[in-house]
Structures are given as structure tokens and as C-alpha cells.
Amino acid sequence: MATVDAKYASTYNFAMEASSLVKTKIVPVPPPNIFEETIRAKVQQRKEWEERMLLLDQVKAILPSLKNSVDSITVPSITATSKLQEANELKDEVSLLNEEYDKLTTDHWTVIKSVQLRAAADNTLETVVEKINQLLLSFPKDTENIDSSAVDAAKQLVIDIQSNLITFKEKIAEIIKFLPLTEKEKAEQEASKEETPSPDGGEQ
């Protein structure tokens, strides 16, 4: 069999089109390990990001609710022994506040990333609970015979409870202030910037 080259084709006026046959076979080849690892890492990052966003949304629902719970607690003014019932109601309300606060899990606090503020809020709420227990202990079972000094002590405890509840609310407000924006808040912020009129009267 003669080899067809340029000289042969020129001498014999040979057309080389379709003179060769090339066979191919396509088979699946597994991707390189580095490529698979990169894809898996990206998927994992996305899952972690979605989880953080979910936790952040939950935190931003729980914390304002805590602030509102503090506002809704009316601290009784212990002026007489008949106020024992009000003291018990206060304990129940603060117990509910404590339960709401406990909804912030370890994962939530990881999103918040504020150990100092958490410790401050924890300590303040513990102080409130401690003082409420002191308040209840200041009322004996025979409340008719309670003396005026016990009532005065109860009044001071109520003042302390009110003060600590306000401090707790302030700590929660600080935590809220330092939280990152959710995706929805970022979108709203961007939309607000676009709608803000520029100094020359037009829109930015």
C-alpha cells in the first residue's frame, strides 16, 4: 500500500478528502480527586452558610421578643402583706422570660459571637431570679403578722428587681446592635440606598 503524501497527490491528482478513517471511543473518566474535593467543600460551605443564616434569623426573632417581655412585666409595688400574690405573679413572669432566653442555644450564641455580652445578660437574669426568691422568702405564711421592716425590705427588693430587669434589657439591646445583617436586611438596605435622592435632586 502506497503512502499518500503531497507529492503522490500532486502526481496522480489524488483527492485526499475522506481517504482516512478515524475511530474514536468516548468513555466516562472519573474527575480528578482535587476537583471532587473542591466541589464537596463548596457544598459544605453553602450548607454551613445556610445554617448560619437560619440561626441568625432565629436570633433576631428571639431577642426583640425578650425585650418586649421585659417591657410587659409590671413590677408590683410591695406596700402591704396582700402583695404576696403579686410577688408570685412576678416570679411566674420572670420564669417565662428565663425560658424564652433559654431558647438561645449554643449554636445561636456562636452566631452572636459575644461572650462578654452573654455573660453579662446571664448574670443579670440570675440576679433577678435570686432577688425574686428573696422577695418571696420575706413573706411568711402568716402574712397578717408581717412587720413593717419586712415590707420595707420587700420594697427595696422590688426596686432592685426593676433595676436589674432594665439592665438585662439594655444588654439584649447591645447584642442586637452587634448582630450581622440577614440577607433580607442587606437587600432592604441596598434598596433603600437606591431610593435615596442625590443632592442634585435625582436618585442615586
The 10s digit of each residue's pLDDT in 77-125 is 766 556 777 888 889 999 999 999 999 998 998 888 888 888 999 999 9
Cβ atoms 76, 94 nearer than 8 A: no
The 10s digit of each residue's pLDDT in 26-49 is 888 787 888 888 888 899 999 988
With pLDDT > 70 as the criterion, what percentage of the chain qualifies?
81
The CA-based angle 48-65-171, given to 5 degrees, is 85
pLDDT at 16 over 70: no
Confidence grade of residue 199 (pLDDT, cut at 50, 70, 90) = low
* Cell 459571637 belongs to residue: 113
Amino acid at 22: V
Confidence grade of residue 187 (pLDDT, cut at 50, 70, 90) = confident
pLDDT score of 120: 93
Average pLDDT score over residue span 146-150: 71
Of 21 and 121, the one with more pLDDT: 121
- E-state strands within the chain: none
pLDDT score of 66: 92
Average pLDDT score over residue span 16-26: 68
Of 68 and 154, the one with more pLDDT: 68
Residue 119 exposed, middle or buried by CB count within 10 Å (0-12, 13-18, 19+): exposed
Average pLDDT score over residue span 191-196: 78
What are residue 132's phi and psi, to 5 degrees?
-65, -40
pLDDT at 204 over 80: no
Q: Which domains does the chain have, with CATH numbers?
A: 33-181 (1.20.1420)
The 10s digit of each residue's pLDDT in 53-77 is 999 999 999 999 999 999 888 776 7
With pLDDT > 90 as the criterion, what percentage of the chain qualifies?
31
CA atoms of 122 and 106, how far apart (whole Å): 13
CA atoms of 48 and 87, how far apart (whole Å): 45
What are residue 106's phi and psi, to 5 degrees?
-60, -40
Confidence grade of residue 127 (pLDDT, cut at 50, 70, 90) = very high
What are residue 64's phi and psi, to 5 degrees?
-60, -35
Of 2 and 71, the one with more pLDDT: 71
Cell representation of residue 45: 460551605
CA atoms of 161 and 129, how far apart (whole Å): 8
| C-alpha of 31 from chain center | 38
